[in-house]
Structure formats: C-alpha cells, structure tokens
Structure 1
Amino acid sequence: MNDQLSPYAQKPWLRHYDYWVPAETTIPEQSIYQVLAAANVHYGHHRATAFLGGHLTFAEIKQQADKLATSLLKLGVKPGDCVGIMLPNCPQYVISFFAIVRLGAIAVNINPTYTAREVGLVANDSGLRVLITLNALAPIALGVKAETKIETIIATDALAFAAQRPKVLAMTEGTLSFSEMIEGVAEPQLPPLNLNAGDEVAALVYTGGTTGVPKGAMITHRNMWASTVMCRVWNREFTRAGEESFLLVIPYFHIYGLIVGLVYSTYVGAVQIQIPKYDANMLLAAINEYEPTYFPAVPTLFISLLNHPDAPSSKLGKIRRLNSGSAPLPVEVMERFEAMSGASVYEGWGMTETTAIGSGTPTFARRKLASIGFPFPNTEMKIVDLESGTRELPVGEEGELCIRGPQIMKGYWNKPEATAEVLKDGWLYTGDVARMDEDGTFYIVQRKKDMLLVSGFNVYPNEIEDVLFTHPAIKECAVIGVPDEYRGEAVKAFVVCKENATTTKEDIIEFCKDQLAKYKLPTHIEFLTALPKSAVGKVLRRELREKESEK
C-alpha cells in the first residue's frame, strides 16, 4: 500500500492525543544509570523505596549502588558481562540494577520462583558470571553453579531493608554477603560513566514463558530511555515529579515492573512501595497505609481485589491513576472495578520486545472500552495480513499488529533466527491479531497462536471469555481449542467459580447462547479451583493445552 494512501502512515491517532502530548520527543543516548544520578540531584532526600516499614532515600540508593558497583568491579565484572538478579521486589533489586548498568554490564532478570532447571537455562543462555539472589534461594543457585559459567553468588537477606530486621544474618556457605560488599567500600571508585551507551545492551529480559522456550530480549539503554521518556510525556499533566508514590506488586524481573515500576518511578522521583509477592491482604494494607497515587496492575489483580471483602471499604479510591497491562482487561471487570473503587482504569499495551511500552489510552480523549488506545510518541503501528505479513490492511480489518519505534528491542540474545522471524525492516511483528479504527485507536483481538479455527471460522478466546466474565457465578475463566472430528476444533472453557457460587455446564452454555454465535459456544467446560498463571498473573493457556493433550 502506497505510504500516501496508507491509513497508518497518516498517523490518524495524532489528532486525538491529549493536548500536552507531542508527536515526537527526544530520546537520550546516555546510560540509563543517569536516571538515578538525576534523581539523586533533584530528589536526593526524598524517599525512594518503602519496603515492609523500612525506607531508603534516592541519595542512599545511589550511594549503595555505587559501592556495590565498586565491589563488582573488584570481582572482575566489566562492560558487556552478564550479572543476574534473582530477587523479589525489594530495595536490593533497585540497588543491584543500577550498580550493574553503572559498570556497563548487563542486568539479567531472573524470576525468583524459577526451579533449578529454569535458572540453569537462563544462566547458560546468557553466560552469567555473577548472580545476586536471596539467601533463601542460594541453594538453587549453588546447585546449578557447576553446570554454568557462574563464578560468584552474592546473597542477601530478604528482610535486610525492612523495619524489623533479624539481628543475625546467617549467610549460606559458598556465597558472598550483599551487605558486606556495600559496607566494605569506604568510597566508590568507579571508571567514568559511558555517556554514549545508547546502543549497548542494558538488560536481558527473558520471554517465552508462555511458549516454553526462553529467549533473552536484548533491551538497550536507548530502549529504556525511550520507554521512560514516552511514559513521562504521556503522563505529564497528572504526574507530579517528586510527589508520587507507585504501588508495585508487578515484579521488577518482568519488563512491565522493570520499566514502569523501577526506572520510570525513579525518573519522576516517586516512592516505590514494594510488595515482594502478591497477597491481597498485604496489598490492601499498603493501600490503606501509604495511599499510593499510581497502581500499575494486571487483570488478575483487579479480579482478585474485586472478590476481596475488604476492598470496597479500603482507600482504593485515593489512587489517582490505575493502569492495566500484560493481558486484555475484560470490560465487565473494568466496569465493576471502577464502580467499586471510584477510580478510573486506563489500559495500555506493550511486550517485552517493546520494552513494555507500545500504546496507551489517553486521559481526556473519549475512552474506547476494550481498546489499547493510541501508539505512543515516536511510535508507528500498522496491521498486516496474517498469511504473508507484507500487505497492509484497510481500517477495521483484522490482521497482525506490527510496531516500529526507539523502544523496540535489539533482538534476542544468541538467537539470530528467532530475531529475524520477528524483526523485519525495522518493524516488530508482534504475533497479536488486532485492528485499527478510523480514529487511529487500536484493538487487540487475540494472540495469533491462541486463535481457534472452528468449522472454518476464526474464533478468539478473548471474546468468549468476555462473555463468560459477565456470568454471575464465574470468577475466572480461560478458553482453549480442543480437537473435534467434525469441526476441526471445538471451544473448551476452564471456569473458576466465585466463593459460595455454583453453576453447571448446561447453565453456562445456555447463558452464552444469546451472546455468541453457535460455532463460538463453549461445548466443553471444566471446573477448576484455580487457573495456572505466570509470575505477573497472566493465564497460561499453554499449560491448559498441555494438560488437555495428556488426557
């Protein structure tokens, strides 16, 4: 399609941006460490973290990060080396991340719930030399050390920065003490900071948890700056630098938590209220104690809070900005949550490969439910046909979503073939089926790999799940395809009922008949007590499919 005629090249979304949002913004080429350095200058004595009653200022974070970087340098860590962080949300994560990037090394984010096998896969793929983890997780790290390139394991106590700290921190044999690596440095001694680090890799963020094949997305300093600056200009009119508090249960090891929770919050001088693991009671207690101003979340968090008896009487309504990402938020859930809390929920879309940021819903323009909003500044998006991926589709037609911009990853670590499959002529082929309307608003229909083919018709699980969520007895649900001799595939729904609520297969099918075409009806229904989820609460359809295939 000729660019002059292409609806995507014309960027219709620009006409509907909030009045303060520019079409383009400048992206720094510096080390992402400069985010912390600037926060120290502007907000040095402000609280940077709040963790189980303990607090650190930005000045303290910088001082400890610089001291840790000095100790890492003495261990032989140099630019380009991979250093792993296997921690929950805690001050040590923030300190470790900025220490690593200060040296020009690469931070490798590792899920602390990983098994030894999974840690070994990431360690071997990345070539980790140093791993920072909890003392409680050190045995897992030590167990894989011999089969990897890991030379040093640095361990920290989970409560080292909490208000109530244990008096004796017994360290695991074979590890170095995180605290001693900081306390043993009187004054940081570091080489000059690389001021032109833009194209260098700052982090490896592993994706593929839903496919079973880990791939390390190479996130550069420029990528991180791009996403951070885009967030800032998008939110400028309601983000008060130095006065915000971010409620962070989204884990830092996930790209959403790393960029929005850790880097962007530091950029705007916000307090990071760190929740080390999801617990509804802990989350509500933090909301009531700190009255956070911003809460980046995922659909399962909203669903969980909706079903918590204490949520309606909590201070949820004090939160000025609620964001939902990582997976589509059912409209029914959004409307119920907004009615309960009195706060507005804004959806966004991004992926690991886009450094978390792709599109977002505007603040003042007319909000279109079930949409992912407009592409961010400096960003282009388009829809191409599912077959060849070369033909741009007209407005309103469904195809694969492609995105181009400075936040797009450099590629997959040590996987040139996998990189070539998704990066073509500067465009990232996302694997999401989507469409764009005449205003430039984008809508995710489904992951391409999750789409079902029933009697020759495309069926999207999200559509069926949206209907199921409106059933009064259903708390959670997930839809997959199962083999069917007649239709090719049939629709199967896995259902979790609300507490003290019951329903039947027949009732659910009857409920859906008025809202779905016959070929979309879930003819197979299985009741579960819980759905399998990823670390950020995304339902793992892959596991449901695997269990189904084993039957």
Structure 2
Amino acid sequence: MTQRPWLKEYPSEIQTELDYGNKPLQAYLKETAKAMPDKEAISFMGKTMTYGELYQSTLKFANYLKDLGIEKNDRIAIMLPNCPQGVIAYYGILMAGGIVVQTNPLYTERELSYQLKDSGARAIITLDILFPRVKKVQNETNVEHIFVTAIKDYLPFPKNLVYPFIQKKQYGIVVKVEHQDNHHLLTHILKNGRTTEFDVEVDFEEDLALLQYTGGTTGFPKGVMLTHKNLVANVLMCRSWMYKCTRGEEIVLGILPFFHVYGMTTVMILSVMEGHKMVLLPKFDPTTTLKTIEKEKPTLFPGAPTIYIGLLNHPELSKYDLSSIDSCISGSAPLPVEVQANFEKVTGGKLVEGYGLTESSPVTHANFLWDKERKKGSIGVPWPDTDAAIFSMEDCEPLPPREVGEIVVKGPQVMKGYWNKPEETDLVLKDGWLYTGDLGYMDEDGYFYVVDRKKDMIIAGGYNIYPREVEEVLYEHEDIQEVVVAGVPDPYRGETVKAYVVLKEGRNLTEEDLNHFARKALAAYKVPRQYEFRKELPKTAVGKILRRALVDEEKRKLQEEEIKNA
C-alpha cells in the first residue's frame, strides 16, 4: 500500500503531491473575476455572461441572503437544471457562509420532502414550473424562503419571448410568482441588489461546502458531507491530471448536471477555478448536443457512457463536426471499450474512463489522457495524494496484485461522513479508508480494474458472475446500443443472469443470436439465460443505468405470480 506502484507510471508533467492552499471555493470565483473580468464564463442557449458579470450577480445574491438572516452553516437547496442561475446560486450561497444542498429537479414530492427534511434546508431556489411542487411539501420541512427563477430569464431575444409558449405546450402550466413575503424572484434580486464584498470566515478543512445526496439506489439517500478542502482538492487534482489544458482558454461542455457531483466539479468548479468557458445545456438531447458542439467548439467534454452512446448512435452523426473535442473523462458508470474506441475515431480526441463516488468528491482514479498507452478495461491509476488498495472481504487485509476484493481509497477528497448518520459513516470509513462497495483488482503496475459492485455480483449455482464482464462482451455486438446485465431470482440456481438489451435503430436480433454470440467469449455459466429487448433502460439523471430498478421489477413480477398461483 505504501509503495504506490502507480507513481512510476505518471508522466513527468503530473505532480505526485499537490499544495491545496486554504482558500474556500468562493474565493476562486473572485480571483478569476478580478483577473479576467471580460472573459466569457457561461454560454447558455445563445446568450453569454462574463466572469465579471457572474461575480457581480453572485455578490447580489449573497448580500440578499445575508439581509434575510441566512447565517453560517445554514443549508440552502438548489433545485435547478444546468443554467446560469445555478452557478450564481451556488457561489452566492457559499459567499454568504451557507452550505449548498444540490437537489434533482426531477424529484417527486416524496423524494423532495425527504431531502429537504433530512438536510434541514432553510431556503430553496427553483424554477417557476417547479414552484408548485415545492409549495406542496414546504409545510413538512424547515424551508422558510423560496427563490424562483425561469429559464427564459437568461435566454437571448427573441428566445426569451417564445420560451414561455413552448413551456406551456410542454408542461401544460404557466406559473406566476410575485416577489413578496417569503417568495423571492431572482430577477428582482439581481436588478436591485448590492454588490458589497464581504467575507465569512471559513475553516478550509472542517467547514462544509456541500451536502450531496447519494442516488438512493440501495435505500434512502444519504447526505454526503463534503468540505471546501474536499472539493478544492479534487478539482486541483483534476487540473494536474489535465496538464495540457491552458488557463482561460478551454471550452467545457456542461451536459452532466450540476446536481450531480461529477458535473459540478469537472465542469463548474474547474471552469471557475481556471477561467474556462462553460457551455451549459439544461438536459441531454443528442441532436441539440451535436449542434452545440459544432457551433461552440468545446475542447473538454466530461460525460457518462450513455451520453457518448447516444451521440454515436445518432442517425445524422456524420453531418456534424466534432473535431474540437480534445479530452473527455467518462464517469458515473463503466465505459465499454467499443464505445471508447468509436468515440475517439469520430472526434479525433481522447476519451478515457475515470472512477469515483459521491463520497470522494468524486474522482479517485483515471486513465492518462496523453502520452501513455491505456490498458483495456482499466479505470486507471489513483490521482495525486490518493491511496488505493484491494482489501479482502473476509478479513479486510490487503490483497496481492490480481486478486479480487473490495476497492478502498484514502485521500484529501474523501468525505467527512454522512449527514446525521454516524453509524452508517462508521460502516464505510475505517481507519481513514473509504470502503467503496466495489469489487476489483490491481495489476502489478498499479492500474485498477472494477469487476463490479459488491451488491451487484450475481451468485448463480455457486458461481460468482460479474455483470460488467458480461456487458463488455455483449457491447461488442454491432447491433447493440445499450445493455445491462443483472441477477434475477431463479428457483433452481438462486439467481440467474438476465440481459436487458436496447438495439440500434432498424436492427433485429433474437435471443438465439445473442446466446450464440455470448458463448464465443464467455464460460457457459456466465452466459445470460434470459434476454429482454427494450426501447430504453431506466437511468438516473446523470445517465447511470439503474440495474437495481430492473431487479426490483423482476422480484415484483415473481411475487405477483406467486400470489396468482396461491
């Protein structure tokens, strides 16, 4: 563990140890705005904003929060898609001394109520069309103030006039909120607000910047406590990793939602820290994305496998110029080797797989973008100042190279713990090590490989089967667009392997075709016994396929069948 074999693989440009200073996150916005006030910070659907304008808007929001009585460590929720208001709110909350609670705009009332109650948020900023949903749950929570904004507020003319009609057609409602009592319009605040600079004392290592809730795929979501140092450290690691990028000159495509920690760090915080231009899209639509890439010419494109797959399978992909894309790090889910190769061929840029989790701010490992041959299927090596190891699941002792166990990590980006959940914190943080719940192994050079989630491993007839291995094989079939493999209940084997498949448009396959294909590369016990063809797969907002939702669906079917036959 102390030898860190991966360090000998580092290119000379990447430092193995970094200085993280002690500046809180919001200080970087002030620094960038003072250094390059006229540099474009945000491009949003045809309208731009400079760093000077972004900083002034943020100050107005921070001053308004202060005047309302928001105090240090008060939690304030942001329930917005990627848009300029989300960036203004994020840094304004931090300037006022608050803790950001990122909230998925797609949350149902039940999910929203749970998160607001659990975090104890005193205020929330949201879209006009989401205002009714927030109002319905407000009385169940500690929320005192609701800030309201609208997509049209940051659209150029004439889009800002047309958008309300599009919104009404799409959602069937028009919401009008007055700036009065405890309802606050962001447009009013930014038109009339003060730009007085002030500082709130921040303990860089101990004070929280963010409560980032886990996806809740294994129970109720937990609030991950991330400090200013956690987030600054992870972004400085990212900057070190991307050593060919130039301060103030990169254009970053912001499709990954900022309410997901990966999008927040690799697009928003990195851009603010480095003075890059963010091109924001409120949701992923393949056609809009391709048009945006051709027009805005982004150089950096952090994403998730489903995003790259969606673009590669667009019927008119060849019509668009994607050659501006230089570097992409894929996160949130395993990156199929075929997807990586095809995307690099189309763009001429580099696409590599990284690894991390919410609890580590989020990145701990990545492949090298330049000057190194990538190892097929590897998540890469640990980032600077990050330790990683493979521990035995039996006795939590380190395992030698190529033996499968649980991936554990340690570093300055690892969370402080779970919000108000000390027992659950103790289950995953032990002696400074974060137990990831992922199974994997390390090779002799220090490259790590994820075999699968500990909870996702399939045990069929006594054999351990890793869904990722089966998925990699099926992704090699030219007719498959997306696939996920899960263990479903089986009365004889305990569990059996089932593949859920989305075919490329206009393609046809049978179970027999896939069975024949899989048997060429997999041992008989690993070959799926069941196939289900679907038009789409359930996903999180960041594009991670919800394997657990499919397993739960199978269990419900089995229970219904048992009741029917009883």
Classify the TM-score, shorter chain.
Answer: over 0.9
The amino acid across from 1:172 in the alignment is: V
Asked if the contact 1:30/1:198 (under 8 Å) is kept, the reply is: no
TM-score (norm 1): 0.96
Matched, 1:183 2:188: no
Instruction: Give the SS at the match of 1:239.
Output: coil
Distance verdict in 2 for CA 1:29–1:483, change over 3 Å: same
User: Match of 1:429?
Assistant: 435
Cα distance between partner residues in 2 of 1:208 and 1:264: 23
The amino acid across from 2:384 in the alignment is: P
User: Match of 1:373?
Assistant: 380
- Residue from 41, 56, 65 that aligns with 2:58: 65
User: Match of 1:323?
Assistant: 329
Cα distance between partner residues in 2 of 1:191 and 1:60: 17
User: Match of 1:231?
Assistant: 238
Matched, 1:456 2:462: yes
5+ residue gaps, structure 1, are: 1-7
User: 1:166: how far off?
Assistant: 3.5
**Matched ranges for 1:24-423 at <5 A:** 24-164=17-157, 166=160, 171-172=176-177, 175-185=183-193, 187-189=194-196, 191-194=198-201, 196-236=203-243, 238-362=244-368, 363-388=370-395, 390-423=396-429
Cα distance between partner residues in 2 of 1:507 and 1:133: 48
Cα distance between partner residues in 2 of 1:434 and 1:528: 30
User: Match of 2:563?
Assistant: none
Q: Over residues 398-422 of structure 1, what are the superposed CA-to-partner deviations in whole Å (9 max), with x where a residue is unaligned? A: 1100000000011111111111111
User: 1:323: how far off?
Assistant: 1.5
- Residue from 14, 18, 34 that aligns with 1:21: 14
Cα distance between partner residues in 2 of 1:157 and 1:309: 33
User: 1:235: how far off?
Assistant: 1.2
Question: Cα RMSD between the aligned structures?
Answer: 1.4
Cα distance between partner residues in 2 of 1:506 and 1:526: 12
User: 1:128: how far off?
Assistant: 0.8
Cα distance between partner residues in 2 of 1:335 and 1:531: 23
Asked if the contact 1:247/1:272 (under 8 Å) is kept, the reply is: yes
Q: Over residues 7-31 of structure 1, what are the superposed CA-to-partner deviations in whole Å (9 max), with x where a residue is unaligned? A: x210011111011111110112221
Q: Over residues 452-476 of structure 1, what are the superposed CA-to-partner deviations in whole Å (9 max), with x where a residue is unaligned? A: 1122111000111111111222211
Cα distance between partner residues in 1 of 2:2 and 2:354: 21
User: Match of 2:561?
Assistant: none
Asked if the contact 2:303/2:328 (under 8 Å) is kept, the reply is: yes
Instruction: Give the SS at the match of 2:153.
Output: coil
Cα distance between partner residues in 1 of 2:527 and 2:240: 43
Cα distance between partner residues in 1 of 2:189 and 2:485: 49
User: 1:222: how far off?
Assistant: 0.4
User: 1:477: how far off?
Assistant: 0.9
User: 1:366: how far off?
Assistant: 2.0
User: 1:195: how far off?
Assistant: 5.2
Instruction: Give the SS at the match of 1:493.
Output: strand
Cα distance between partner residues in 2 of 1:129 and 1:195: 20
User: Match of 1:5?
Assistant: none
Matched, 1:542 2:548: yes
Cα distance between partner residues in 1 of 2:342 and 2:373: 19
Cα distance between partner residues in 1 of 2:349 and 2:321: 10
Cα distance between partner residues in 1 of 2:247 and 2:197: 29
The amino acid across from 2:226 in the alignment is: I
Cα distance between partner residues in 2 of 1:312 and 1:373: 31
Instruction: Give the SS at the match of 1:192.
Output: coil
Asked if the contact 1:48/1:270 (under 8 Å) is kept, the reply is: yes
Alignment size in residue pairs = 541
User: Match of 2:534?
Assistant: 528
Q: Over residues 320-341 of structure 1, what are the superposed CA-to-partner deviations in whole Å (9 max), with x where a residue is unaligned? A: 1111111110111111222233
User: 1:484: how far off?
Assistant: 2.2
Q: Over residues 46-78 of structure 1, what are the superposed CA-to-partner deviations in whole Å (9 max), with x where a residue is unaligned? A: 000000111111111111101100001111111
5+ residue gaps, structure 2, are: 165-173, 558-566
Asked if the contact 1:30/1:194 (under 8 Å) is kept, the reply is: no
The amino acid across from 1:188 in the alignment is: T
TM-score (norm 2): 0.93
Cα distance between partner residues in 2 of 1:184 and 1:472: 57
User: Match of 2:480?
Assistant: 474
Asked if the contact 1:28/1:225 (under 8 Å) is kept, the reply is: no
Instruction: Give the SS at the match of 1:294.
Output: coil
Cα distance between partner residues in 2 of 1:266 and 1:328: 28
Instruction: Give the SS at the match of 1:435.
Output: strand
The amino acid across from 2:206 in the alignment is: D
The amino acid across from 1:464 in the alignment is: V
